Amino acid sequence: MAVHHFLLILGSYLLGSLPSGYLVSLAAGGVDIRQRGSGNPGAANVYTILGPGPGIATLIGDILKGYFPVWIAQHAVPGAENLALLCGAAAIVGHAWMFFLSFNGGKAVATTAGVFLALLPGPMLIALAIFLFSVWFSKHIAVGSMAGAAAFPFITILAGSPPSVSLLAFFSCALILIRHVSNVGRLREGTEANYDKGSDLEKS
């Protein structure tokens, strides 16, 4: 692997590690989002605790953390599709295990969306539609995240994507679903926050 390829992958991980939700929450209300709600430093928890403005700001930041590493790799080394995939994977891993938060991190939904908006915008928009419908139907962001993630790998296959792209989609899906195990428990108990009501859940 060329040195500049390694640096691009490392930079992608560090960009993915930028704690958007943590920084937005501190700026918006002096809140350490890791100590509120679900304890997750992602957009859904920021939205639940601090409202639409900080939540949307976090969402945009997390999407861009996934989009730009892939976009930069695509333009810095044209034709190196595997490098773009590795940079995308590094950004997703960076969000899930943030270097700047002692390797704690979020659930990687928005960052994964950013990665695949750069790689496969059409299939990603279909997954987004599934996400939005599932959130509307269930009133739970977590349900939409899991539904969109579970459907996306199969959408990439139906779209005729290269096996390496579908493999990254399956990896991302597995990571997102594993990261939502605590949400499944709260859904069963009826304590998961509704997106339109919110609740300051005790960290679990």
Domain membership flag for residue 151: yes
Domain membership flag for residue 195: no
The whole domain housing 169 covers 3-189
Domain membership flag for residue 204: no
CB distance 19 to 97 below 8 Å: no
Give me the pLDDT at residue 3, please. 86
- The Cα–Cα gap between 73 and 89 comes to 12
Domain membership flag for residue 169: yes
Residues near 72 by Cβ (< 8 Å), separated by ≥ 6? 8, 12, 87
Domain membership flag for residue 203: no
Which parts of the chain have pLDDT scores under 50? 198-204
Instruction: Dump pLDDT digits (tens) for 142-152.
Output: 899 999 999 99
Give me the pLDDT at residue 78, please. 79
Domain membership flag for residue 8: yes
CB distance 68 to 76 below 8 Å: no
Domain membership flag for residue 146: yes
Domain membership flag for residue 71: yes
In the chain, the number of structural domains is: 1
Give me the pLDDT at residue 1, please. 63
Give me the pLDDT at residue 85, please. 96
Instruction: Dump pLDDT digits (tens) for 132-172.
Output: 999 999 988 889 999 999 999 999 999 999 999 999 999 99
Write the CA distances from 73 to 5, 88, 131, 152, 156, integer angstroms. Answer: 9, 9, 28, 23, 21
